[in-house]
Amino acid sequence: MSTEKVAMPWQDRPEGHTEVLWRHSENPIIARDAIPTSNSIFNSAVVPFGDGYAGVFRCDNKAVQMNIFAGFSKDGIHWDIAHEPIQFAAGNTEMIDSDYKYDPRVTWIEDRYWITWCNGYHGPTIGIGYTFDFKEFFQCENAFLPFNRNGVLFPEKIDGKFAMLSRPSDNGHTPFGDIYVSYSPDMKYWGEHRCVMKASPFMDSAWQCTKIGAGPIPILVDEGWLMFYHGVINTCNGFRYSMGAAILDKDNPAVVKYRTQPYLLAPQTTYECMGDVPNVVFPCAALHSVEEDKVAVYYGAADTTVALAYGKLSEVVKFTIENSL
């Protein structure tokens, strides 16, 4: 989300660093036990709010039950996370069943903050909710039939309709998954499903050859929608999640204009390579300032903690264009 009104979390590029993105020096910024009941806190979303930031955090408890929690921060780095999960009231439906909630995304659209998450309804599907104040929350109809994950809203309507990225899948560890876009006139009924982009051939870009899924809310830049996403390779020792970027057509996001053949960030530090699920970099949110040419990407590390990486927005775009698959 754009952070024109408040200071962005930021660190300058470390000397000698030559990659497009660089890690926050004090990563992880949120520890696994940041609230008393948590086994792990990761794959979480943040958004500018008031004179600081609000966030929705995936905190798995020590029974490894998944739920989402609200939090607030002045600087986007130090967070005060609620000790109880978000309670939703009925939004555009009375049916707000939820066996579990995880991997939230948040964005402001028109008049309110919309939250999407992986919602347990006979398997994973995309839950939708909204809030005006991060105090009261309202849950809407699930967007899709199961099985689906990684539902990510565009931050503004496209051609008068809400637009959402998602990754249809199955109900296990899902050895496949591509990114689609769907539209809705009313956040209740969804259609016009289009395939956006698929896992790449192994020989072209192996880090994203098993499955892919959208990450943070897409960022509107001159070239189109900048979409950070995760890609997965299935090694002989399990899945490895890395981060890339794509630029989608502004008016028709089913059209991929550019897409990074190399990854932008892959698991290499101890906190990314060791944890409940080793070798995971999973981006879920980004703050950016076009004026300052900055972007800060929040990502889950090893399904255990929240980490932060920085980059120059223009460099990310340039890299994506120049290293396109």
Among residue numbers 285 through 324, which ones bind a second copy (CB under 8 A)? 303
Q: Which pairs with CB-CB distance under 8 Å and at least 24 residues apart come from 64-73?
A: 64/39, 65/100, 66/100, 66/101, 66/102, 67/100, 67/101, 67/102, 68/101, 68/102, 68/104, 68/115, 68/117, 69/35, 70/134, 70/135, 70/137, 72/134, 73/46
Residue 16, interface with a second copy (CB under 8 A)? no
How many amino acids of this chain bind a second copy (CB under 8 A)?
A: 80
CB 281 within 8 A of CB 241: yes
Residue 52, interface with a second copy (CB under 8 A)? no
Closest CA to 300 of 235, 208, 222, 228: 228
Q: Which of 189, 249, 291, 318 binds a second copy (CB under 8 A)?
A: 189
Q: Which of 79, 113, 138, 180 binds a second copy (CB under 8 A)?
A: 180
Residue 65, interface with a second copy (CB under 8 A)? yes
Phi, psi of 58 (to 5 degrees): -85, 110
Query: Facing residues of 288 across strands?
Result: 2, 295
Find the part of the chain contacting a second copy (CB under 8 A) among 36-44, 74-82, 216-224, 309-317.
36-44
Q: Which of 166, 289, 305, 320 binds a second copy (CB under 8 A)?
A: 166
Sites for a second copy among residues 216-235 (CB under 8 A): 233-235
Residue 90, interface with a second copy (CB under 8 A)? no
Find the part of the chain contacting a second copy (CB under 8 A) among 44-52, 69-77, 78-86, 269-277.
269-277
Q: What is the DSSP string of 35-90?
A: STTEEEEEEEEEEEETTEEEEEEEEEETT--EEEEEEEESSSSS-EE-SSPPPEEE
How far apart are alpha carbons 224 and 247 in whole angstroms? Answer: 6
Sites for a second copy among residues 69-88 (CB under 8 A): none
Nearer residue to a second copy within complex by CB, 11 or 39: 39
Residue 50, interface with a second copy (CB under 8 A)? no
Find the part of the chain contacting a second copy (CB under 8 A) among 6-14, 268-276, 287-295, 305-313.
268-276
Residue 103, interface with a second copy (CB under 8 A)? no
Taking the alpha carbons at both ends of the chain, their separation in whole angstroms is 26
Q: CB 226 → a second copy: shortest distance, Å?
A: 19
**DSSP-assigned letter for residue 278:** S
Q: CB 184 → a second copy: shortest distance, Å?
A: 6
Q: Locate 213 and state its tokens.
A: 């899924």
Q: Which of 85, 157, 178, 292 binds a second copy (CB under 8 A)?
A: 178
Q: Which of 7, 14, 26, 62 binds a second copy (CB under 8 A)?
A: 62
Residue 275, interface with a second copy (CB under 8 A)? yes
How far apart are alpha carbons 234 and 215 in whole angstroms? Answer: 19
How far apart are alpha carbons 66 and 231 in whole angstroms? Answer: 22
Neighbours of 201 (CB within 10 A): 11
Residue 145, interface with a second copy (CB under 8 A)? yes
**DSSP-assigned letter for residue 91:** S
Residue 282, interface with a second copy (CB under 8 A)? no
Q: Which of 88, 144, 258, 282 binds a second copy (CB under 8 A)?
A: 144
Q: Locate 150 and state its tokens.
A: 């990684």
Q: Which of 185, 251, 291, 318 binds a second copy (CB under 8 A)?
A: 185
Fill in the per-residue mask, 123 to 142: x = in contact with a second copy (CB under 8 A), - = not in contact.
--x---------------xx
CB 294 within 8 A of CB 313: yes
